[in-house]
Structure 1
Amino acid sequence: MNDDAIIDLQGVQFGYAGRAVLDIAQLQVRAGSSVLLRGTSGSGKSTLLGLLAGILLPASGSIRVAGHRVNTLGAAARDRFRADQLGVIFQQFNLLPFLSVRNNIALGVRFSPL
């Protein structure tokens, strides 16, 4: 792992129902970097974000985000990691329709004591 990498993926593989979706030999993102995920529908963009957030677990490989080896954490620890370390804004169907855009975004910080 590169010590200044905020995201470090090594040998990550993931698939659905026996169909390979992602096969990432290595990906490192330095702290302070900007990254654009671009691709056609079904190319694995949301899957990659799900893996980084610990919502999904890889079939193999290592995922380290902000110093946490996400794929080795238990379910409750991954929930706590998301609450304390990440800002996840889900696609339209997961937004609360009775909240404004601002309040939907701010809702996540209410789950963390930090």
Structure 2
Amino acid sequence: MTTPLDPEMFDPVCPSDLSPIRIGDKWAGMIVRCLERGPRRFSELRVPLRGITAKALTKSLRTLERDGLIKRTSHPEPVRRVEYGLTPLGRSLLQPMAAACAWAQEHWEELLDAREASAHG
């Protein structure tokens, strides 16, 4: 049994769109992180990804699957369920993503200052 995902896994004051380094769409990097410790069901992914709509999650999952980063597995018995898990290619993204996160964390104040300066023209 996999440990449930932490609902507070992603800090709401630390939006992923602030980082200039992005994997796929707005949600893809966070989905990959959610799958880091093993396959998850759609409903499990929605717990830490509170702001995502079902439509956006479906679209991101399909794109990640198309790109070979995740695999969708359907289990017909005893109760039909679908799980999403990282492929070896998807798993190979974890280390570069960790480096990108560490860089963004190190330069957080500079990123915030640049965004604020840009917004005030």
TM-score range, shorter chain: under 0.3
- Bigger Rg over Cα: 2
TM-score (norm 2): 0.23
- The structure with the greater share of residues assigned to strand is 1
TM-score (norm 1): 0.24
- The structure with the greater share of residues assigned to helix is 2
